[in-house]
A and B are shown apart, each in its own frame.
Chain A
Amino acid sequence: MGKAQSRQPADGVRARRRSLVDLTAVVSRTIDESLLETPPNPVAIPGGDGHRSERAAKGPARKTPARKTPARKTPADTTIPAVIDSAGTSLSTKMELPSTQYQSASDTSALAVEIAKEMQTRALETMKLGVHAAFEYTKDIARPEGDVLDGAAAECHAVVLELMKVNAGAALQYTRELSRVRTLSQWIELSSSHARKQCELARQQAELLKSLADNARTSGAE
């Protein structure tokens, strides 16, 4: 009787081995995404950087990516920026994610799940804020003593309400999808896709509102 083979053939094992380069790419994305979602310096290290702080200000970390949050173009003189803010809230509020809680995650998957949960909570808060802002805005506009809207202002009003609907819908969809996240790769894919969509959405909305504001100015001048 031959002894049972306890080792798999080397080729089979090698075929299953995970490339360190692939692994690192995932790690890198995880870190970048986490940094994108958090404020620049919330390491939960109490203040008093002491004699280091001056030098730190002079010499930033090597290879620290100069990540920028998507620029929100705001029309110069319209009352619409509040809406842009609500569109951007999903970006800006996510920037407040606490950081130290992730330090305790024992592995990458746990880290991803923790972050996903936190993002879901934030997204829900964002939705609440957005809906509240929309409600207040609508209430103000609808007041009997308010000015009668006509022409460009009325068009602007309609567009703003439509944008609110779009933003609320996007936030709701994202929240739903977050609740279904189970793995690191799913989370990375979802958050990357959401970030891209939000950037594009904010850019398009800013352009739209700017053109509306320009129209309003032009018609006002006439």
Chain B
Amino acid sequence: MHVLALVTQKGGSGKSTLAVGLAVAAMEREERVALIEADAQGTISRWKERRENSFPRVECVADPAEIEPVLSRLQAEGIGLAIIDTAATNNPLALRAISNADLCLIPARPSPADIEAAIPTLLAIRRGNRRFAFVLNQTPTRGCRLSEAATSLNSLGVLALPFIGQRNDHQDALGVGLGVTEFAPEGKASDEIVGLWQWISEHIFTESNHG
């Protein structure tokens, strides 16, 4: 089983939305996926309540000590990919998620606040010797600020591709209990999420197998 953790202490960076979008995109590509909600805000739990499809399953975790048992159970049940959504803080739960992740995704918007907020997260990841990648999220559709942010994040570490644009489809999909690839399969938002999942799967699987 592979574990993907979405981490950054910046609120509103799109961790939960990306987690849901990626989980559904991976599920559509024959992955057995589980979402682990390690965020008391409960965005994913509420999304799951609105969802008619019983997959992907959602596990809620409040105690750092629960993470490993939950992962072990999911692995025993044949889940191939666990996506952990963490809270917008570097609490012990988020740190435990980092320590268990094969790949940590750090969503960041092209703003100084998001880049600065990545410091404690990056420190934790690099101290724990975990693999990580930035995801440039909620980007404007064009403009030099985007390339500047991409250059910046790339200098801090790996930058996953493609960038995820600021598009209403993500929020609308979340609101009706769908992944963006289910909500608007032909849309640009869907294309970007599928592209991002392909990037992740190439890195998470290839490097885990050969690492």
Interface on A for B, CB 8 Å cutoff? 18-21, 23-25, 27-28, 30-31, 34-35, 38, 40-46, 48-52, 55-56, 58-64, 99-100, 102-105, 107-108, 111
Asked if A20 and B211 make an inter-chain contact with CB atoms under 8 angstroms apart, the answer reads no
Q: Which residues of B contact A63 (CB under 8 A)?
A: 157-158
Interchain CA distance A21-B133 in the complex, whole Å: 17
Cβ–Cβ < 8 Å partners of A48 in chain B? 68
The docked-state distance in angstroms from the alpha carbon of A44 to that of B123 is 12
Nearest first, the 3 A-B pairs at minimum CB distance are A59-B211, A24-B152, A103-B90
- Alpha-carbon separation in the docked complex, A58 to B207 (Å): 9
Q: Contacts of A41 on B, CB cut-off 8 Å?
A: 127-129
**B132 contacts chain A at the CB level, 8 A cutoff:** yes
Q: Tell me the complex Cα distance, A31–B132, Å.
A: 15
Chain A residue with minimal CB distance to B9?
A103
Interface string of B137-169 (1 = CB under 8 A from A): 000000001001101110111100000000000
Give A108 to B51 CA distance when docked, in angstroms: 40
A38 to B130, CA, bound (A): 16
Closest to A56 in B: B129
> When A20-B115, A27-B119, A63-B158 are in contact, do A40 and B129 touch as well, CB less than 8 Å?
yes
Partner-contacting stretch, out of B40-48, B93-101, B171-179: B93-101
Query: In whole angstroms, what is the CA distance A105 to B9 when docked?
Result: 11
Whether B112 sits at the interface, judged by CB under 8 Å, is yes
Given contacts A20-B115, A24-B156, A59-B211, contact A52 B120 (CB under 8 A): no
Secondary structure of the B contact surface, majority rule? helix
Q: Are B119's CB and A31's CB within 8 A?
A: yes
State whether B95 touches A45 (Cβ < 8 A): yes
Cβ B119 vs Cβ A43 within 8 A: no
Q: How far is the CB of B134 from chain A (nearest CB, A)?
A: 10
A56→B207 CA distance, assembly (Å): 11
Question: What's the minimum C-beta distance from A62 to chain B, rounded to whole angstroms?
Answer: 5
Q: Quick check: B90 and A62 within 8 Å, CB to CB?
A: no
* Cα–Cα distance between A28 and B154 once the two chains are bound (Å): 11
CB–CB B156/A28 < 8 A: yes
Chain A residues near B149 (CB-CB < 8 A)? 20
The reply to whether B99 and A21 contact each other, CB–CB distance below 8 Å, is: no
* Given A19-B148, A50-B100, A35 contacting B120 (CB threshold 8 A): no
Q: How far is the CB of B174 from chain A (nearest CB, A)?
A: 28
> A111 and B72 in contact (CB under 8 A), knowing A23-B112, A25-B155?
no
| A100 / chain B contacts, CB cutoff of 8 Å | 95
Flag if A24 contacts B102 (CB, 8 Å): no
CA distance A200 to B152 in the complex (A): 31
Query: Are the C-beta atoms of A55 and B152 separated by less than 8 Å?
Result: no
Contact B130 A56 (CB under 8 A): yes
In whole angstroms, how far apart are the Cα atoms of A52 and B211 in the complex? 13
Contact partner, A30, options B119, B129, B207, Cβ 8 Å: B119
B72-A50 in contact (CB<8A) = yes
Instruction: Say whether A51 contacts B119, CB under 8 Å.
Output: no
**With the chains together, A62 CA to B154 CA distance in Å?**
12
Which A residue sits closest to B103, measured CB to CB?
A62
CB neighbors of A among B97-131 (8 A): 98-102, 110, 112, 115-116, 118-120, 122-131
By beta carbon, the residue of chain A nearest B110 is: A20
Residue of A at shortest CB range from B90?
A103
CB distance from B206 to the nearest CB of A (A): 10
Q: Which residue of A lies closest to B75 (CB)?
A: A51
